[in-house]
Amino acid sequence: MVRSMAVFAALLPATVVAQQVYRIGDPGLIAPVAVSQAQAHYTMSARERRVEGNVRMVAVVREDGTVNDVRVTVPVDDDLDAQAVDAVERWKFRPGTKDGEPVAVQVALVIRFTLH
């Protein structure tokens, strides 16, 4: 198993292509727009503990409008953080563009958890 992993690691640099990721505010960039947003769900544990708050994240919206590289920047609770990441990974966007071409864009996102 270790030998296979070493071979994979040795091949990885040759197959990985660096992707330029733009940021909101970069000159000529038109920001991505969410077209579908999966809902994050409370876990029973978080409900029982009455946890509320805003999970803040950064993510990359790819050229095809899908989301990857989601990172929590301001956590609330391990359970709710995981639910927020899972939901955001299922969001779909109209991709951001630069000079009329779709590009990858880093975005800041917030998922709010409020008990009713």
Which tokens hold the place of 43? 């876990």
Judge whether 46 and 79 are in contact, CB under 8 Å. Answer: yes
Residue type, 13: P
Task: Provide the whole-model pTM.
Answer: 0.81
Separation CA 7–CA 95 (nearest Å): 35
Domains of the chain in start order, with CATH, are 19-113 (3.30.2420.10)
Per-residue pLDDT tens digits for 38-83: 999 999 999 999 999 999 999 999 999 999 999 999 999 999 999 9
